[in-house]
Amino acid sequence: MDVMERAARIEAEGGHVIHMEVGQPAAPAPDSAREAARRALDHGRIGYTTALGLPSLRARIARHYGDSYGVDLDPARVVVTTGSSAGFILAFLAMFEPGDRVAIANPGYPPYRHILTALGCEPVLIETDAASRWVITPEALADAHRQAPLKGVLVASPANPTGTMMRPEALAELVATAEALGIRFISDEIYHGLDYAFPATTAAALSANATIINSFSKYFCMTGWRVGWMVMPAPLVRAAERLQQNLTISVPTLSQIAAEAAFDGAAQMEAVKHGYEENRLILTQALPRAGLPEFLPVDGAFYLYADISRFTDDSAAFARRLLDEAHVATTPGVDFDPHRGHHYLRLSYAGALEEMREAVARIGAFLARG
């Protein structure tokens, strides 16, 4: 957010900033979603829905799991949420008590640990490395559990900030280990659909006890609509329903109507995904020539996590200089990793093709200047 504010000042003064700092698609929501919202507005009154969400949307989400993963999912296990952010809050409140320890990968999405801390839980950062393809291993989870009992573990595949994915066998082994140890498993699947190296696997296919959190924000380009969903173990659905009734009553109805129609825009979204793939190719091929040859596996999502340790040990200062001098906005790794993040930079490639080419040229010129 600090980078965005600084970029806005540069743009107000007439500068052209290439935005690679925020994980937000440049494309709009599918035509089908926007048209459904227009029809709903023309119809008149937009009222509350039930706390768990529109029954037709929950059924459509359940059908999606059959179509995309071959999973026969009961719509009763689907909970519609105000984006994935509310999903994390509801899931943590339904599963954990203050003082509970919950494992998350490091580096990882900052709100995981911030929400847990705000709710009185203890986030346990499990270090990842190249040997494991930057994911939590069963051995690391078991070791953290031996040190002090864990109540939960949260993983993301594709991950933010790295873009790396868990191979199907790695995810299955981790789910099995968590269940054997009595650790609740949460799978953040918000970037599903944006997979390039190999198809993403849903934890819903591996266990009925896993909680899946997803959103229409990324693949369906609906960030500002603030609508997502959870697939929960059946015994937890009632707790999530009561929490949502008290915290928000229901998810915005207009967003739910649009979200249901978004599934009809899959062909349009696949074209957007193809654009990300082209951007990914530009970065992975051109950044090494520009002077950034080291980055984590770019499997999915729309992020590249680059090692800048040959240039700096202060990623925040480096990102400021890159913005001020080259007008390329990026996110310093310290946002995602309090231990090693000062050596990394996250670049989002969710923007336009020509801007990616221009960004690489600007980064190369910036690095050449030293």
Domains and CATH numbers, the chain: 2-29+267-369 (3.90.1150.10), 45-264 (3.40.640.10)
Between strands 152-156 and 101-106, the pairing is parallel
Q: What is the pLDDT of residues 67-101, one digit of tens each?
A: 999 999 999 999 999 999 999 999 999 999 999 99
pLDDT interval class at 1 (50, 70, 90): confident
φ, ψ (nearest 5 deg) of residue 143: -65, -45
Q: What is the pLDDT of residues 205-240, one digit of tens each?
A: 999 999 999 999 999 999 999 999 999 999 999 999
Residue 91 and residue 83: Cα distance in Å, rounded?
13
**Listing from the earlier edge strand, what are the strands of the sheet with 331-332?**
303-307, 344-348, 331-332
Tokens of 366: 């910036």
Mean pLDDT computed over every residue of the chain: 97
Q: What is the pLDDT of residues 5-51, one digit of tens each?
A: 899 999 999 999 999 998 889 899 999 999 999 999 998 789 999 99
Q: What is the pLDDT of residues 311-347, one digit of tens each?
A: 999 999 999 999 999 999 999 999 999 999 999 999 9
Instruction: Please report, for residues 127, 244, 368, the alpha-carbon distance to residue 67 in angstroms, rounded to integers and kept in the order given.
Output: 35, 28, 49
Tokens of 204: 């819903």
Between strands 211-215 and 184-188, the pairing is parallel
pLDDT score recorded for residue 167: 97
pLDDT interval class at 54 (50, 70, 90): very high
Residue 171 and residue 185: Cα distance in Å, rounded?
11
pLDDT higher than 90, residue 122: yes
Question: 171 in helix, strand or coil?
Answer: helix
Residue 58 and residue 40: Cα distance in Å, rounded?
18
pLDDT score recorded for residue 4: 87
- R_g over Cα of the chain: 21
Beta bridge partners of 19: 329
The structure tokens 């992020």 sit at 303
Instruction: Please report, for residues 19, 29, 77, 237, the alpha-carbon distance to residue 264 in angstroms, rounded to integers and kept in the order given.
Output: 29, 11, 22, 27
pLDDT score recorded for residue 23: 87
Q: What is the pLDDT of residues 249-276, one digit of tens each?
A: 999 999 999 999 999 999 999 999 999 9
pLDDT score recorded for residue 3: 87
Q: How much of the chain, in percent, has pLDDT values that exceed 90?
A: 96
pLDDT score recorded for residue 315: 97
Q: What is the pTM of this model?
A: 0.95
Residue 9 and residue 111: Cα distance in Å, rounded?
26
Residue 288 and residue 186: Cα distance in Å, rounded?
35
Residue 26 and residue 269: Cα distance in Å, rounded?
12
If residue 211 lies in a helix (H) or strand (E), which one and from where to where?
Answer: strand 211-215
pLDDT higher than 90, residue 370: no
Between strands 101-106 and 122-127, the pairing is parallel
